[in-house]
Amino acid sequence: MTYVDLALDRLSTDGDREALIGGDTRLTRSQARDLLFRLADGLVQRGIKPGDGVAVYVGNTPEAVLLNVAVHLLGGRLVFVPPEPGPGELRAFIDRAEVSAVVVDPTFDTKIDGWHLQDLPGDPVERAPHPSFATVSYTGGTTGLPKLAVHGPNLAAAFSAFKDTPPQKMLGTTLLTHGSGAGTAIMALVSGSKLVLGPSTFDADTFVRLAEEEQITSTVFVPPMMYEVLDHPDCPGPQFTNIRIGGSPVAPARLRQAIERWGPVVRQAYGMTEAFRISSMPPEDIDFDRPETLRTVGKPSPDIEVEIRDGDIWVRGPSVMEGYWGEPPLSASDGWFNTGDMGHFDDEGYLYLDDRSKDVIVTGRTSDNVYSRLLDDFLVTLPGIRQAAAVAQPDDALGEVVHVFLVTDVPDVDFDRIRASVVAELGELYQPRGVTIVPQLPLTKVGKVDKRKLRSRFR
Ligand code: AMP
């Protein structure tokens, strides 16, 4: 049984219940089931067979959710095309993924050609789901060279837990072609929830409106989105039963603010394109009198092994990818994968992320590590500072020095006070050499702070 079987089970009962909503489209479960089979048939009519690669370049729409499931239903290899790179790089990426077809939604973006999603539906031929399929995701948004991570049908194992959760009214915020958005869609389908899709590029006004109109109970945020919603004049009240946040560091002060606003329903989760659902922190374990409980990413998920080796986090389990496309599978070695994140466990088995290894700033006369994450978290506790991102600035004498980008809501920022506060809290090493005030931090298409872009200002 794969997640596709679970999703079809849900779509086959209570056919009049709403399942997928986006823009002007509202699909009931039976309409969604019908379109799913039509999309699969359209692919078959165009020659797609089990094992074929189908690249999808689509935005956040109900049709795109069903297209992704249709490719899996046929036993295909679904290749997510990210919107970030330019057309040349996209072409190279698609070539490298060795696909048989490209499906595009021209209302989303016209950077590349392919079969139009709108023309794809064929006949409503019911087909039994193929037992095996794959998903290929581009990883590289904030991490350097792009790679293609391949996941097999283990998605079912990673998401089957959601089949026993009561149906929710979910709001999808991140791109369907990123693990976070794809995962949200699968969670919704498997749990029989109503999924409302926000725009492909997040905006807080729309979030606030949809949360109210659709009486949303559950959503997934990357941190900058949650901060924008918290800062919104019409920020929703305690209407949620379940909010997941993760994908990049969550400032403890902001997590606390979210819990104060929405109640103990905010779950910090840690995962990555190469390894879903590594760990999560149950909201009921958070205790404001123990500030570290706002910082930890919780305990490892039941089916995943996590080890710290020389400060790096290594993982193994069914939600870890099979390997990178074109490289030997992880199973050819021992199945362990180095996340590139640095972290540690406390005595109670809670995991803490210290930094991404690429975001560590190596500075000082003895080349010590500044964990940029610690500095970001501390800076937003200072009055008037709404967002902060510390990055390495190359320096002839010290290799790197600390530079911070700040979003503030006060006109006159006292840099000397900021520096003094940082030194008092974190020590001399963390003292920012440079400070730049920006109206907003650059975000990747998924909505995470793009530290790579900030670093590139110094090159
Ligand atoms: P991506 O592959 O684009 O999903 O990025 C995954 C990376 O995001 C991880 O390797 C972490 O560095 C970071 N990340 C994910 N969740 C968290 C979290 N809860 N706190 C801090 N960083 C996170």
Render pLDDT for 361-414 as a digit per residue (tens, 0 to 9).
Answer: 988 877 788 999 999 999 999 999 999 999 999 988 888 999 999 999 888 889
Do 203 and 308 share a domain, yes or no? yes
Q: How many domains does the chain have?
A: 2
Which residue's CA lies nearest to atom 6 of ligand 1? 272
Full 3-state SS string of 271-314: EECCEEEEEEECHHHCCCCCHHHHCCCEEECCCCEEEEECCEEE
- CB of 249 closer than 6 angstroms to any ligand 1 atom: yes
Provide the pLDDT confidence category of residue 180 given band limits of 50, 70 and 90.
confident
Tell me which of 353, 388, 420 is where a domain ends.
Answer: 353
DSSP-assigned letter for residue 281: E
Which 3 state secondary structure label does DSSP give 41?
helix
Atom of ligand 1 nearest to the CA of 245: 19
- Rounded to the nearest angstrom, the distance between the alpha carbon of 245 and the centre of ligand 1 is 10
Contact between 54 and 78 under an 8 Å Cβ cutoff? The reply is yes
Which residue's CA lies nearest to atom 5 of ligand 1? 272
Do 132 and 29 share a domain, yes or no? yes
- Rounded to the nearest angstrom, the distance between the alpha carbon of 340 and the centre of ligand 1 is 10
- Sign of torsion over alpha carbons 81, 84, 85, 86: positive
Give the range of the structural domain holding residue 439, as residue numbers without chain letter: 360-458
Do 188 and 278 share a domain, yes or no? yes
Which residue's CA lies nearest to atom 13 of ligand 1? 248
**Domain with 374 in it: what CATH number?**
3.30.300.30
**Domain with 60 in it: what CATH number?**
3.40.50.12780
DSSP-assigned letter for residue 449: B
Look at residue 286 and tell me whether its pLDDT is greater than 90: yes
Query: Phi/psi of residue 265, each to 5°?
Result: -130, 5
Do 121 and 25 share a domain, yes or no? yes
Do 134 and 171 share a domain, yes or no? yes
Do 262 and 377 share a domain, yes or no? no
Tokens 């901060």 belong to residue:
227
Do 281 and 395 share a domain, yes or no? no
Atom of ligand 1 nearest to the CA of 139: 2
Atom of ligand 1 nearest to the CA of 297: 19
Provide the pLDDT confidence category of residue 156 given band limits of 50, 70 and 90.
low
Cα–Cα distance, 180 to 177 (Å, whole number): 8
DSSP-assigned letter for residue 81: P
Q: Among 257, 214, 256, 220, which Cα is nearest to 239's?
A: 214
- CB of 247 closer than 6 angstroms to any ligand 1 atom: yes
- The answer to whether the predicted template modeling score (pTM) of the entire model surpasses 0.75 is yes
Q: What is the mean pLDDT of residues 294-315?
A: 95
Tell me which of 332, 353, 374 is where a domain ends.
Answer: 353
Do 156 and 181 share a domain, yes or no? yes
Do 322 and 364 share a domain, yes or no? no
Do 452 and 317 share a domain, yes or no? no
- Rounded to the nearest angstrom, the distance between the alpha carbon of 124 and the centre of ligand 1 is 39
What is the amino acid identity at position 84? E
- Rounded to the nearest angstrom, the distance between the alpha carbon of 354 and the centre of ligand 1 is 12
Look at residue 194 and tell me whether its pLDDT is greater than 60: yes
Rounded to the nearest 10°, the torsion over CA 208, 214, 219, 224 is: -10
Do 312 and 371 share a domain, yes or no? no
Do 88 and 212 share a domain, yes or no? yes
Radius of gyration of the chain from its Cα atoms, rounded to whole angstroms: 22
Contact between 254 and 230 under an 8 Å Cβ cutoff? The reply is yes
Q: How far does the chain reach from its first CA to its final CA, in angstroms?
A: 50
Tell me which of 353, 371, 389 is where a domain ends.
Answer: 353
